[in-house]
Structure 1
Amino acid sequence: MSFRYTHSFPISGPNKLPRFKQWAEQNMPGVAVSLPPQVPVKSTALTVRLKSIEDRNTLIGKLEGVSF
């Protein structure tokens, strides 16, 4: 099964990938995500790839009100 669905959300500052990975492990256990190998420090968004539309909807719901 491939990661067919994406979601982009605002995130700024350094260490975006480790911060998101830690948050995802704590808030969405069991949801597989695919992240880019690296994200530039100046980037203000992160795009996450997910396996199903249900996982994408779960991510969107969990990200409401979260600030990275």
Structure 2
Amino acid sequence: MSFKYSFTFPITGPNKLPRFKQWAAEHVPEVPMSLPPQVPIKSEAMTIRLKSAEDRQKISDKIQKAKL
């Protein structure tokens, strides 16, 4: 199964990938995802790849409350 779905969300500041990985491990460890190799520091958003629309909905519901 490949990562057919994407989810883009706002995130600012340095160390976006480590911060998101930590958040994902704590809040949605059951959701398989593919992360970008790097995210520029000036970028204000990040896109991840997911396997299903249900996974995208889980992330969307939980990330709205997060302060990344």
TM-score, normalised by the number of residues in structure 2 = 0.95
Within 2, Cα distance between the matches of 1:19 and 1:8? 15
- Moved runs in structure 1, 4+ residues, more than 6 A? none
Aligned: 1:33 with 2:38: no
**Structure 1 runs not aligned, ≥5 long:** none
Return the letter of the residue paired with 1:42: K
2:61 corresponds in structure 1 to: 61
What does 1:7-18 align with in structure 2 at a 5 Å threshold? Answer: 7-18=7-18
Return the letter of the residue paired with 1:66: A
What's the C-alpha RMSD, in Å, of the aligned pairs? 0.7
What does 1:1-12 align with in structure 2 at a 5 Å threshold? Answer: 1-12=1-12
Secondary structure of residue in 2 paired with 1:56: helix
Within 2, Cα distance between the matches of 1:3 and 1:35? 10
Secondary structure of residue in 2 paired with 1:7: strand
**Structure 2 runs not aligned, ≥5 long:** none
